[in-house]
Amino acid sequence: MKTPLALALMIALLLCCAAAEAVPPYAETAVGVAAEAADGPIAYAGVDFGAGASVLRFKASSKERLIIRAYADSTETDPIATAVFAPLTKECRRNVQLSGAHDLFFTLEGSGEFISWQAFATQEAVDAAVRAERGTACEDSVPPMYFSRCEQGGTVEKFAYQARDYAGGGEPYEKTAYVYLPYGYDPDQTYDLLILCHGIGGSEVEWGMTGEDSRVKKIMDRLIYKGEIDPFIVVTPNGRAGKTQDQSAFYRFDEELRGDLLPALARRYAVDITDRGRCAMAGLSMGGMQTINLGIGKCLDLFSAFGAFSACPTTNAASVTAAALNARRDLPVRVFYSICGTGDGIARASTSAAVNGLDALTDQLNDRNFIVQDVPGGHDFNVWYLGFYNFARMIGAK
């Protein structure tokens, strides 16, 4: 049984900060043990979590597969958390309930290196720490390398599922979406999920996420390969909740998300739609409107992160969005990001009305989770790919 030398320092840091904040602070404990070298559990004696820790964050690396199991007080009991690392996965978060003092044990299975573990009182504390580590400042342009193919690239596949014609008679029919799966996708792992919506004249192919030449795919591949984000799954659906081409179908898409698309994705892919902290929604133009009006307005219980790129034309005003947020203070927002071109004659007015002064109307938003970016440009993909790049970095830096 191993007891790392960093134990005393870690406990001192925990106790000092806990006394100041009355909750367990952010505290990192170095491990640095290769699975092949671990001849027994890695032990930490008498870790004091004070009033309570709700998240354990694991950092590790693996070229194949590494499983880390955490135990409280004894390895003879069920693990309190299990983290699975596939190639390119940099970290895993797991919800726990720990308070007071416990002996912690970690076991390693597979191949790779267990780098460190961290304890946090809240999910918000994790996000703040990660932002400090990686930085989430908005770039003004997408670096050209992110539009080039990556040697370790993910895959894009077409996904068929049953939906109902919500804008029509409600009868079932088949729809398709495109799904990006990161390099090294492991169905035994659980990935975060982004629903990425199109504009008023588009469909599931408007983002171009249909094959190797997809810019969305290239951006994701590069961000993951460079370790800037943790791998997550991207889905580009058809945002019309019905067979009609009438605009009314866009305003019923929340019903399809809740009743058809998300459940179908959960049955097929390694995503947890019951954990809103791991689900995000974003979109361009009409899809930006859907993100605000439907995502925030009607689906706060499904999503915690939102990206609106040139949202229009009937986007809810700031007062309406604030009322929706204030009505569900039990559902905190992880990220709300808005981007629009200063020369956008289509979306500029509606986007401005949607975000200007919004953070003053609700305590759900502040300078840490509410980001508004104005850039030179019009109503086009130069702005929207930049919006996707920045938003992917925000939600993937976990």
Q: Are residues 109 and 163 in the same domain?
A: no
User: DSSP assignment of 223-287, as one string?
Assistant: HHHTTSS--EEEEE----SSS--SGGGGGGHHHHIIIIIHHHHHHHSSB-TT-GGGEEEEEETHH
Q: Cβ neighbours of residue 329 under 8 Å, at least 6 residues apart?
A: 363, 364
Q: Are residues 92 and 184 in the same domain?
A: no
Question: What is the pLDDT, as a whole number, of residue 138?
Answer: 85
Question: What is the pLDDT, as a whole number, of residue 39?
Answer: 79
Q: Are residues 355 and 324 in the same domain?
A: yes
With respect to residue 1, please indicate whether it lies within any of the assigned structural domains. no
Here the CATH number for the domain that contains residue 42 is: 2.60.120.260
Q: Are residues 388 and 353 in the same domain?
A: yes
Contact 153, 183 (CB under 8 A): yes
With respect to residue 373, please indicate whether it lies within any of the assigned structural domains. yes
Please give the residue range of the domain that contains residue 221.
Answer: 144-396
Q: Are residues 128 and 149 in the same domain?
A: no
Question: What is the pLDDT, as a whole number, of residue 15?
Answer: 32
Total residue length of the chain: 398
In one letter, which amino acid is 29? T
Q: Are residues 255 and 306 in the same domain?
A: yes
Residue of 29, 79, 37 whose CA lies nearest to 59: 29
In angstroms, the CA 390 to CA 225 distance is 16
Residue of 89, 112, 141 whose CA lies nearest to 37: 112
∠ CA 85-87-91, rounded to 5°: 40
Q: How far is CA 14 from CA 22, 46, 115, 118, in A?
A: 11, 11, 19, 11
Q: Are residues 28 and 62 in the same domain?
A: yes
In angstroms, the CA 193 to CA 277 distance is 10
In one letter, which amino acid is 190? T
Q: How far is CA 323 from CA 102, 355, 360, in A?
A: 42, 13, 12
With respect to residue 105, please indicate whether it lies within any of the assigned structural domains. yes
Q: Give the end of a domain, one of 113, 134, 155.
A: 134
∠ CA 196-200-205, rounded to 5°: 50
Residue with tokens 């068929």: 160
Q: How far is CA 289 from CA 24, 117, 226, 248, 285, in A?
A: 39, 39, 32, 13, 6
Question: What is the pLDDT, as a whole number, of residue 234?
Answer: 98
Q: Which structure tokens are listed for 138?
A: 């908005």
Q: What pTM value is reported for the model? A: 0.74
With respect to residue 161, please indicate whether it lies within any of the assigned structural domains. yes
Q: How far is CA 150 from CA 37, 64, 234, in A?
A: 32, 19, 17
Contact 291, 306 (CB under 8 A): yes
Q: How far is CA 144 from CA 149, 177, 215, 376, 386, in A?
A: 11, 27, 11, 18, 11
User: DSSP assignment of 63-85, as one string?
Assistant: SS-EEEEEEES-TTS--SEEEEE
In angstroms, the CA 102 to CA 78 distance is 15
With respect to residue 97, please indicate whether it lies within any of the assigned structural domains. yes
- Enumerate residue ranges in the chain where pLDDT < 50: 1-26
Strands 53-61 and 91-98: antiparallel
With respect to residue 231, please indicate whether it lies within any of the assigned structural domains. yes
Q: Cβ neighbours of residue 178 under 8 Å, at least 6 residues apart?
A: 156, 157, 158, 159, 204, 205, 207, 209, 210, 235, 236
Q: Give the end of a domain, one of 99, 134, 169.
A: 134
Q: What's the structural domain count of the chain?
A: 2
Q: Are residues 181 and 32 in the same domain?
A: no
In angstroms, the CA 40 to CA 295 distance is 46
Q: Give the end of a domain, one of 134, 165, 198.
A: 134
Question: What is the pLDDT, as a whole number, of residue 363?
Answer: 93
With respect to residue 366, please indicate whether it lies within any of the assigned structural domains. yes
In angstroms, the CA 169 to CA 81 distance is 45
169: DSSP letter: T
Question: What is the pLDDT, as a whole number, of residue 146?
Answer: 95
Q: Are residues 122 and 194 in the same domain?
A: no
Here the CATH number for the domain that contains residue 226 is: 3.40.50.1820
CA contacts within 13 A on the Cβ side of 135 = 3
Q: Are residues 293 and 363 in the same domain?
A: yes
With respect to residue 69, please indicate whether it lies within any of the assigned structural domains. yes
Q: Are residues 130 and 189 in the same domain?
A: no
Q: Are residues 86 and 35 in the same domain?
A: yes
Question: What is the pLDDT, as a whole number, of residue 13?
Answer: 35
